Amino acid sequence: MAVQFEKEGDSVYLLLTKEEAEQMWREGETGLQKVAVGSRGEAGSGFHMCICQPDYAETVRALYEEILEHEGRVDILVYAPCTHAGDDGAVGERHSYEAIYAATERNVMGFRTLVDTIVPLMSKSTIRRIAVITEANASIRNCVSEDDYGYYLSLAAVNMAEKIYFNRLRKEGFTFRNYAGSCIGETMGAAWYVSCDLSNNPEEPSIHSDENRLVMRNSLYEEIAW
Amino acid sequence: MNIVVITGADRGCGQALVRYFIEGGWRVYAGQFMPEWKELEQLKEEFGSDLILMPLDVSDDASVKAAAEFVGAREENIDMLVNVAGIAGGAEDNADAWKQVFQVNVLGPLRMTEAFLALLRRGKKRICVYSSEAGSITTQPREDGFVYSMSKTAVNMEMRLMFNRLRREGFTFRIYHPGWVRSYMSGVRSREGVYEPEESSASAYLQFVTDRPCEDVLLMMDVKGEIWPF
């Protein structure tokens, strides 16, 4: 977990599920420091932690109202699906179909609810960017995992959802990022990739412009096949 | 005699596939979801003991388990599992639709594979699934219709996870995009489409029963034999 402010006056709303907040509370100071490191840096006063269950429309609506009141707009929406189905083994091993479904409901429908609710606030911004933070195993082509069905089915479905949003919203000026995090070390970080502008010449063929197509990139700026 | 289990066999692509397999010399266990739909029983009269009908709702754990016990009581092994059963979902694109479609299109093939895994391991070890171009993130042109597309992307990932575990045991996989078929996906037979179910299933049958030189690569292939990116 990392929070980065671009400049003085920026606001960051960090959304935590109830379980995530409870886990951080159990971890005590260590857990809270993970969040606080960035916020103490340049513009701590703009940091807000919110309990928000993305797959519950009421909590997302409350978030919408809060941001509308205090900020008036959202520039960038970053979504990182992270719910697993628990003891979710390989084919033929233990797992619960209900738990697999529940993981996808939270990860996938949470993304849908969040985007559908927040997009009107983003339309008030000139930046209008939606980013998904994922991992290289979200690639159906390259995935090497054998288990964790609830999680990996979610990652694939969220990527598809982002593509459909891209098709719908790109013409309204929205831009999109899909970043596959890795453990390669200090290379291109998610925050940099999410916040920087890319080639956006409307006359450029779409294949040459990252803004005119949806592409998954890793921390080495390599394109990863879906 | 080779043995195949086919889901979604009541009508459309599944039913056409039943006929091709039997004519190809296979014994077919056909999952019957809609007993009121009589065409499958007419096929039974035509083909006799080569076609065995069994009640099957791929969205229901108990139904899938009962089907596996039914086949297991009659056969030492099965050679192929073909997951055709699928639904498009209604006009709604919400959480309720996701639950309904996910249970059939995504968890259905997983339930079936796990319930029949012991029988498959003693046979020729091939698992096939009907997917769709709608599941290809690379080529997706739609601006709505999230639920169906996401379900097909998810089932492609599901096949990848299975492939990663079962390929080393000798299992092989087919992900099939049937083309735009005048099918019953929305509940009634569509008037729109490019292919009749019989045309699409003829290609599916050939792809399912034919070995490939590159079984170590997981591919989504369409009715024309062309490869689709994920």
Domain boundaries, chain B: 3-228
pLDDT at position A5 is 53
Q: How confident is the model at residue A92 (pLDDT cuts 50, 70, 90)?
A: very high
| H/E segment holding residue A20 | helix A18-27
What pLDDT is stored for residue A42 in this prediction?
45
In a domain, A123, yes or no: yes
Sorting pLDDT into bands at 50, 70 and 90, what band is A40?
Answer: very low
Question: Quick one: pLDDT at residue B79?
Answer: 98
The answer to the question of residue A11 being in a domain is no
Residue from B153, B166, B171 whose CB has the most chain A CBs within 10 Å, to mutate: B153
Give the domain CATH number at A88: 3.40.50.720
Give how far the C-alpha of residue B204 lies from the chain's centroid of Cα atoms, to the nearest Å. 10
Percent of chain B whose pLDDT exceeds 70: 99
Fold of B3-228: Rossmann fold (3.40.50)
Mean pLDDT of chain A: 86
Residue A130's pLDDT band (cuts 50, 70, 90): very high
DSSP letter for B123, please: T
Six-digit token string for A130 = 């939606």
The residue ranking higher by pLDDT, B53 or A20, is: B53
* Residue A12 falls inside a structural domain: no
Query: How does DSSP assign A97-153, residue by residue?
Result: HHHHHHHHIIIIIHHHHHHHHHHHHHTTSSS-EEEEEEEGGG-TTT----S-HHHHH
Mean pLDDT estimate for chain B: 95
Domain residues for the domain of A56 are 52-224
Under an 8 Å CB criterion, which residues of A touch B? 55, 90-92, 97, 100-101, 104-105, 108-109, 112, 139-141, 143-149, 152-157, 159-161, 163-164, 167-168, 214, 225-226
CA-nearest residue to A97 within chain B is: B107
Q: Is the ipTM of this complex over 0.90?
A: yes
In a domain, A32, yes or no: no
Buried b (16+ CB within 10 A) or exposed e, A97-132: bebbbbbbbbbbbbbbbbbebbbebbeebeebbbbb
Based on the structure, what is the number of domains in chain A? Answer: 1
